[in-house]
Amino acid sequence: MEKPSLGAELPGRYTNRTNTNMKPLQIRKAAAALALLGLPAFLITAQAQPTAVWNPAANPSSTGLWSEGANWTINAVPDSTYKVVFNVPGAVPCVINSAATPYQMVIGDGGPGAVTLASGGSLATGVIWTGIGYDNVGSMTLQSGSSAVFGEHLWVGFNPGAVGTLTLDGGSATVNNMFGLGWNGGTGFGEINAGTLRLMNWHDTDSIKGASVLDISGGQVVITGDRIGSVDAFISAGRITGYGGLGDVERVFDPGANTTTLTAVIPEPGTLGLLSLGLLAAVVGCSRRGAA
């Protein structure tokens, strides 16, 4: 599978598709001019997306909730026209316990950031990439009873030096386009402890890169298409693990649903005992060789 053609969708910090400041007549004239040149109207490019930054320190009575307008630099709760950024050092994690519908979300862009989706919380972004650890440290945690739908690509630990972590302790997360851990030189971690991570797109070699790891300790990962070969290669490379490497990853392709489902199991107690004995023997052997 080839890499998706990202074009303008590659993380550029302030990217948009339409110029909301243009009047209807201006838009029609611009579209007509493009039509004369044989070019599509969507090439009317945009100015910067309006941005809201999470800064609850400016709100002395903050409870850390997304829904408190005073926690944001715009002094209002961002709506679906806003890009939201989490990059203020020392800021408490943002807790989403209701519906949040930003156009775009970037966590860890020029500074660290963290977001938690609590029970009853839901996140739905626009058709544009989301970053968790864009060029800094970023994390997102989903708790039981929460949900997230990412309108396009999800990059976890994107640029060099970035460390991103997506944790599912329950709930469900759906990525409507490409999924990447460490896609552009960073390090990304997916920790699936419960719930379901649904991936509508997957790159057979680049969805998990570098030191990035997808670990399954409960719940499941459901990937569109037959990805058995790719998954096996990632398992062999130690980039898909079960229970931190102590468990076994099981993968099943369902031709009817056209999905590959990953789960993990803990080995039987007897097997764990043998593994422990083997590890102990290896340690003793190394100690003896060192003493000799």
Q: Is residue 18 in a domain?
A: no
Q: Is residue 192 in a domain?
A: yes
Q: Is residue 107 in a domain?
A: yes
**What φ, ψ does residue 261 adopt, rounded to 5°?**
-110, 130
Length of the chain: 292
The confidence score (pLDDT) of residue 285 equals 54
Cβ contacts of 209 within 8 Å, gap of 6 or more: 180, 181, 182, 183, 185
Q: Which two tokens stand for residue 78?
A: 């961002």
Q: Is residue 16 in a domain?
A: no
Q: Is residue 9 in a domain?
A: no
Q: How many domains does the chain have?
A: 1
Q: Which two tokens stand for residue 65?
A: 């909730």
The confidence score (pLDDT) of residue 22 equals 43
Q: Are 136 and 156 in contact (CB under 8 A)?
A: no
What pTM value is reported for the model? 0.79
Residues 160, 175: Cα–Cα separation, whole Å = 23
Q: Is residue 32 in a domain?
A: no
Residue type, 113: G
Q: What is the dihedral of CA 262, 167, 152, 257, to 10 degrees?
A: 20
Residues 114, 220: Cα–Cα separation, whole Å = 23
Q: Are 26 and 32 in contact (CB under 8 A)?
A: no
Residue from 281, 275, 11 nearest 289 by CA: 281
Neighbours of 34 (CB within 10 A): 15
Q: Say whether 71 sits in a helix, a strand or coil.
A: helix
Residue from 136, 131, 130, 83 nearest 108 by CA: 136
| Mean pLDDT of successive 10-residue stretches along the chain, which has 292 residues | 40 37 44 48 55 96 97 98 98 98 98 98 98 98 98 98 98 98 98 98 98 97 98 98 97 98 86 53 49 50
The confidence score (pLDDT) of residue 206 equals 98
Residues 40, 278: Cα–Cα separation, whole Å = 64
Q: Are 177 and 198 in contact (CB under 8 A)?
A: no
Distance of CA 247 to the CA centre of its chain: 24
Scan for tokens 């209002």, then name that residue: 76
Q: Are 202 and 229 in contact (CB under 8 A)?
A: no
Q: Is residue 40 in a domain?
A: no
The confidence score (pLDDT) of residue 284 equals 45
Q: Is residue 53 in a domain?
A: yes
Neighbours of 52 (CB within 10 A): 21
Scan for tokens 């960073």, then name that residue: 186
Is residue 96 packed enough to be buried (19+ CB in 10 Å), middle (13-18) or exposed (0-12)? buried
The confidence score (pLDDT) of residue 1 equals 43
Residues 227, 67: Cα–Cα separation, whole Å = 39
Domain encompassing residue 172: 49-291
Q: Are 103 and 126 in contact (CB under 8 A)?
A: yes
